[in-house]
Structures are given as C-alpha cells and as structure tokens.
Amino acid sequence: MARVSLSLPTYSPNTRRRIHTSSISGHGTITRPEPGTGIKVTFMDPKGKLLKTVEVNEGDNLLEIAHEHDIDLEGACDCSIACSTCHVILRPEDHDKLEEPSDDENDMLDMAFGLTDTSRLGCQVKMRRDLDGLVATLPSATRNMFVDGAKPTKH
C-alpha cells in the first residue's frame, strides 16, 4: 500500500486572512412606501374592531405585513402552505379580486377554525394595486401549533 504524504500550508504571522462581508443594510431591510403612495390594508379583530391600517408595497403578503406591524397572526409554517395558522377572513369584494386558491391552500383552509366562503391563508394573499383598501379580519380562534400560549415573532 502506498503511503500518501500530506503537507499542510504554513502561515506566517504576517499572513492576512481575507473575509468577505456585506453591508448590514443589504440584508432584511424593508422599505415602506411614502405616506399616501402605498397600498392600504386594514386588519380587524374577530369582533370587528379596527386593529391597524397600514400602507404596503406591491408583492407583500398579509402574513409578513401582520408580523411587521405586530398583528397577532401566527404563521407557524413560515409561508410554506403547511398550516392554517395565518387564516384570515376577507370581505367578499376583496376575496373576489384574488385568483383561486391552489389545491395546497384549499387543503390547509379545510383545517382552519371558523372557515368561511371568503377565507384565505394570509401568506398567499399577495398585495397588488387593485387590492388597495383590502380588509382582513382575524378569525376568533386558530388551530395553533403552539400549545403553550407562545406569541408569533417576526421572521
């Protein structure tokens, strides 16, 4: 059997290691629209009380918007359509503007507490200009994967 000799590189104290870094501002920053120029979204509690109205960008989804603005919408599966904890109830006029839910979304909606004809998963509702003024009502309960009362955190 042949013997293999490995030689490791040697470093002198003057050898400089190069480390690549990127600007912090390039990761995870959210730019919100100037007041009056964004798409308005209103969140309501289950009893119809106004929680918050915010302005968002095209392409944002309701779950991420809720997390950003401390709205109590869980989203346990982190937008992977594997739970129903981001279930929201939309007004009929808002619901009718959306494309039909995928089969995966319908499967998860079937497990949602308090399902209605205008229920959608918040993670699948992507904001567009024609949805300006959308109202999303939180259901009175959710099939929560956290059984210890944990609150959702921003992702």
Residue 147 maps to a domain: no
- Cβ pair 109, 143 in contact under 8 A: no
Q: How far apart are CA 55 and CA 132, in angstroms?
A: 9
Residue 28 maps to a domain: no
Residue 29 maps to a domain: no
Residue-averaged pLDDT of the chain: 83
Query: Cα separations (Å) of 141 from 53, 74, 144?
Result: 21, 11, 8
pLDDT band at 148 (very low <50, low <70, confident <90, very high): very low
Does pTM top 0.85 for this prediction? Answer: no
Task: Indicate the DSSP class of residue 28.
Answer: S
Indicate if the alpha-carbon torsion angle 44, 60, 58, 81 is positive or negative: negative
Phi, psi of 111 (to 5 degrees): -95, -5
Q: Quick one: how far is CA 30 from the chain centroid?
A: 13
Average pLDDT over residues 117-135: 97
Residue 71 maps to a domain: yes
pLDDT band at 26 (very low <50, low <70, confident <90, very high): very low
Residue 17 maps to a domain: no
Give the residue numbers spanning the domain of 58: 37-137
Output the pLDDT for position 37.
87
Q: What is the pLDDT of residues 102-120, one digit of tens each?
A: 999 999 999 999 999 999 9
Residue 27 maps to a domain: no
Q: What is the CATH number of the domain that holds 110?
A: 3.10.20.30
Residue 32 maps to a domain: no
| Count of structural domains within the chain | 1
